[in-house]
Amino acid sequence: MTDAYAVIGNPVAHSKSPQIHAAFARETGQAMVYTRLPCELGKFAATVRAFRDGGGRGLNVTVPFKHEAYALCTQRSARAEVAGAVNTLSFNNGEIVGDNTDGVGLTRDITRNLRVGLRGASVLLLGAGGASFGVLGPLLAEAPAQLIIANRTLGKAQALAARFAAQAGACNLAVSGFAELRGRQFSVVINATSAGLNDDMPPLPPPLFAPGALAYDMVYGKDTPFLQFAQTHGATVADGLGMLVEQAAESFFVWRGVRPGTAPVIAMLRAKA
């Protein structure tokens, strides 16, 4: 039987992951199928177990199930453990093994594809949901000079910063409300809120972008209000398509032990958009 994988989420119909993994499998000669697995809220564990019991080998997990996926795992990688969120599940010898590839996906896209250095940078991370929990460790590992987390619900930003305080090293890791950002400037601003999905954005006070700053929206495939705002204020902008492909490549490596090329897949998806 061909090895089966899927992306589980709600909603999931829009996901480009099946296209991405099909391209990886073609390139690397892996025999596998990858589909979408819609899941009702409250039925995550049952849906995962049914997929596994039907012969499934692994799942990518998207909004809003990354914390539930973490709780369901019987084993976790170190990066999933520290993130408290899981986006990659593998079913191995009766174990449900969790990993988190979002963070390396983001940092590879920023540093390798976009060629923006994070070492010594002043970084603003907007949002404190599952995605932010996944990316904060790898962002801190790049040794920025400061990293401010701003979120609508300040308590969540505080919990996120507290979880990673021990990994901050020399980086000034702090939290902020949106209004308190007034007058401050950053060299990299990462929007990890889901506001763009609803054509919304956090209430950000300009000037927010230092000269030559990168504005990165994890939402992909749309010109979000955040990217429009950033462009208006002189930043270089990027959406989350590169991160999507890079995190998928890392999941593919976790499952198959083979590292696919990402540049042709990013180019293919951009050409189709």
Known catalytic residues?
Answer: 66
* Site size for ligand NDP (CB under 6 A): 29
HSE-CB for 84 with a 13 A CA cutoff: 12
Q: Using CA atoms, how far apart are residues 112 and 273, in angstroms rounded to an integer?
A: 22
Residue placing its CB nearer to ligand NDP in the complex, 90 or 100: 100
128 interacts with ligand NDP by CB under 6 A:
yes
Q: Using CA atoms, how far apart are residues 224 and 234, in angstroms rounded to an integer?
A: 16
| Phi, psi at 103, each rounded to 5° | -65, -50
Determine the 3-state secondary structure of 61 from DSSP: strand
Q: Using CA atoms, how far apart are residues 39 and 198, in angstroms rounded to an integer?
A: 21
Token pair in block for residue 39: 């899941």
138 interacts with ligand NDP by CB under 6 A:
no
107 interacts with ligand NDP by CB under 6 A:
no
180 interacts with ligand NDP by CB under 6 A:
no
Token pair in block for residue 224: 């979000």
In this chain, which stretch among 70-78, 160-168, 217-225, 259-267 interacts with ligand NDP, using CB under 6 A? 217-225
219 interacts with ligand NDP by CB under 6 A:
yes
* Per-residue x/- track, 244-273, ligand NDP (CB under 6 A): x--x--------------------------
Residues within window 8-27 making contact with ligand NDP, judged by CB under 6 A = none
Q: Using CA atoms, how far apart are residues 211 and 237, in angstroms rounded to an integer?
A: 13
Give, to the nearest 10 degrees, the angle between helix 241-256 and helix 263-272.
130
Q: How far is the CB of 207 from ligand NDP (least distance, A)?
A: 20
Residue placing its CB nearer to ligand NDP in the complex, 145 or 156: 156
Q: How far is the CB of 51 from ligand NDP (least distance, A)?
A: 20
Determine the 3-state secondary structure of 235 from DSSP: coil
Binding site for ligand NDP (CB under 6 A): 63-64, 66, 102, 105, 127-132, 151-153, 156, 192-195, 197, 200, 202, 218-220, 240, 243-244, 247
